[in-house]
Copies of this chain bind each other. A is one copy, B any other.
Amino acid sequence: MRGLEARALAVAGPLYSLRVLRAGYSRPNADGTCRADGSVTLLWGGPLTVLVDTGGPWLRPRLPGLLAAHGVAAEDVTHVVVTHGHSDHAGNLNLFPRATLLVGFDLSRGEGLYLPHGLAQGVPLELHPGHLRVVPTPGHTRAHVSLLALGTALGAVAVAGDAFESGEDEGQWQALSEEPAAQRRSRDELAAAAEVIVPGHGEPFRVVREWGTPDEEEEEEEEGGRWRGGDCEEEEEKKKKEEEEDEKKKEEGGSQRCGGEEEEEKKDEDVTSRHGDNEEEDGVTSGQGQRPGGGR
């Protein structure tokens, strides 16, 4: 499967625009180390200005510039949503003193005033009802969240943190997961809810909901359904087998950054040049996407 081209994803919407300021990456080295950073995404144009994830602390010198390229200063950011408390996502919490801050399930503002909410109980946090919603997506860590931007030009966009490492992470994400079964469910939910997913360590990708061969798919469409539903028992068996496989892959890893197989080296592009490139209608090229649930 190909992900989208290495261009900054820019999505217009009736109210909010979305821009992936910096796509994340994870590049293992032969000596067992790896170089990694998390995706950084900005939503602006409406009453709120929301930054999703802040990259690693080493991004500190460059993050203000990435914002300024969109006319956004740090003090304009109203909400910082950090999908989870890993160092490659939570590296720059202290650059936005005016913002309401969500780190996983911890919501605060000002000088450490923590606010109650229902994310830990599975209740979404509506930042802007109908437009921006934070949903709990446990698994990679227990208190992991994602942001859904609704009604954009591309449909719903899920800024998914490390619920998805990349658009081609099947078989690899489990090694980095604290709770693979929960993460499997989170991935399924996000892929059902969104047309585009921004993963934590790769380029954004379209969700492709297809099942079986092109002939079978055509047959499905004629029958009026895009999903092939097996009978319940078959689905149950399939899910059970997936969970066993997920757990096995988790044990092979160590749920710390640098789990997983080697990837082809990707060039770490100069992020400033990516902003000028994007003059396409929606900034998203076509490509295969992530099948929800199941393996390849």
Residues of A within 8 A of B (CB): 32-37, 56-60, 82, 84-88, 90-97, 101, 103-108, 110-117, 119-121, 141-143, 178, 254-258
Contact = CB atoms under 8 A, between A and B. Distances in A.
- Taken together, the copies of this chain in the complex come to 2
Contacts of A85: 84-87, 90, 103-104, 141
Contacts of A91: 93-94
A111 to B, nearest CB: 5
Nearest to A63: B94
A122 to B, nearest CB: 11
B143 A255 contact: yes
Nearest to A60: B94
A257 B59 CA distance: 27
A107 B87 CA distance: 9
11 contacts: A36-B114, A82-B87, A85-B86, A85-B87, A85-B90, A85-B104, A86-B103, A87-B101, A88-B106, A116-B258, A120-B254
Contacts of A121: 254
Given A35-B112, A37-B112, A85-B103, A119 B256 contact: yes
B33 A115 contact: yes
Contacts of A257: 106, 108, 114
A58 B256 contact: no
A33 B116 contact: yes
Contacts of A33: 113-116
